[in-house]
Structure 1
Amino acid sequence: MEKNDFNCSIAVNISANEAIKKISNIPGWWGITFSGNSEKQGDQFIVNMGGESFFNFTVSELIPGKRVVWLVDDCNMPWYTDKKEWANTKLIFDLTEHNGVTDVTFTHEGLTPNVECYNDCEPGWTHWIKTSLFSYFATGEGVFRPATK
């Protein structure tokens, strides 16, 4: 069965190790309230989108220069019927470096077109990866915007 997990890619003119360092500085590109640590495997952090919403993450995998995986341990998305829809999903950043350019492929494993939040999360992730993270890589500044919901 084919998986339809959300994914998108960008190519940036920095090393894969520098890209991972910048991905791990979540407030620099995601524009959210952040607490905890996100720099090494086993680190835990919390993202708050305002109000009662929260997402608890664990850095479940970190391969320097290659891959970062964040597991959603718990969440509360009060604007959806299934407030825990992201729980046990994974945010995956796969990196490949060649000739000074790093390709970053982002996959939200478990975010598929059949889940309630997909219509909001698909444009949201597209913005945060293709616009804000790309800008943060290139200029050191993310491009923040209000949350979709």
Structure 2
Amino acid sequence: MENRSFTTAFTVDRTPEQTLAAILNVRGWWSEDIRGRTEKAGDIFNYRFRDIHRCTIKIKSVEPASKVVWRVVDNYFSFTEDTTEWKGTEIVFDISEKGGATEVRLTHVGLVPEYECYDACTGGWTTYVNGSLKALIETGKGNPNVGEPMNETEKALAV
């Protein structure tokens, strides 16, 4: 059976180690509104974009300079009938050397065309991965969404 999960990839002129560091800097390329730790296996973080999308992600594994796997443990979309469409899916970043450069391949395992969010989600991943993450790796500055300002309690709890 063919893999119908969403995949996107790009190549950069950086080392696999630099690339891994950028992927783990989720606030630098996806959203500044990430709550929790994002560096190692077992870390759990929360993503939120306004009242449109919230999810809780557990980092399942980090393999030095080669792979990062996230598991979506909870999800909410305001715009789909099944608000939990991502729940139980995995987001895999494969890092490999290709002809003196480094390739990053994101596969959102379980994000399939039958999902109501598919078009919006694949467009979002393409923007954040091929645009913002790639820019972070190449220039040190990504283009994450800014999110909403934290209140004082949230600032104190932010890691």
TM-score, normalized by the shorter chain, greater than 0.5 = yes
Equivalent residue of 1:108, what SS? strand
Question: RMSD of the alignment, in Å?
Answer: 1.8
After superposition, the Cα gap between the structure-2 partners of 1:52 and 1:115, relative to the gap in structure 1 and judged at 3 Å, is closer
Displacement of 1:145 in angstroms is: 6.0
Match of 1:62 in 2: 62
For 1:119-134, list aligned pairs within 5 A: 119-134=119-134
In 1, Cα distance between equivalents of 2:23 and 2:69: 11
Letter in 2 for 1:50: R
Bigger shift: residues 44-53 or 66-75: 44-53
Structure number with greater Rg is: 2
Letter in 1 for 2:40: K
- Unmatched segments (≥5 aa) in structure 2: 148-159
Match of 1:3 in 2: 3
Checking the alignment, whether the CA contact within 8 Å between 1:32 and 1:49 is kept in structure 2 is no
After superposition, what is the alpha-carbon deviation per residue over 1:30-81, rounded to whole angstroms, capped at 9, x for unaligned? 1341011111111111111112631101110111111000000001112111
Checking the alignment, whether the CA contact within 8 Å between 1:12 and 1:101 is kept in structure 2 is yes
Equivalent residue of 2:91, what SS? strand
Match of 1:110 in 2: 110
Using structure 1 for the length normalisation, give the TM-score.
0.91
For 1:1-149, list aligned pairs within 5 A: 1-51=1-51, 53-98=53-98, 100-144=100-144
Number of positions where the alignment pairs a residue of Structure 1 with one of Structure 2? 147
Letter in 2 for 1:131: G
In 2, Cα distance between equivalents of 1:8 and 1:46: 23
Equivalent residue of 1:46, what SS? strand
Letter in 2 for 1:46: N
Using structure 2 for the length normalisation, give the TM-score.
0.86
After superposition, what is the alpha-carbon deviation per residue over 1:93-139, rounded to whole angstroms, capped at 9, x for unaligned? 00112565211100000111111100111111111111111111111
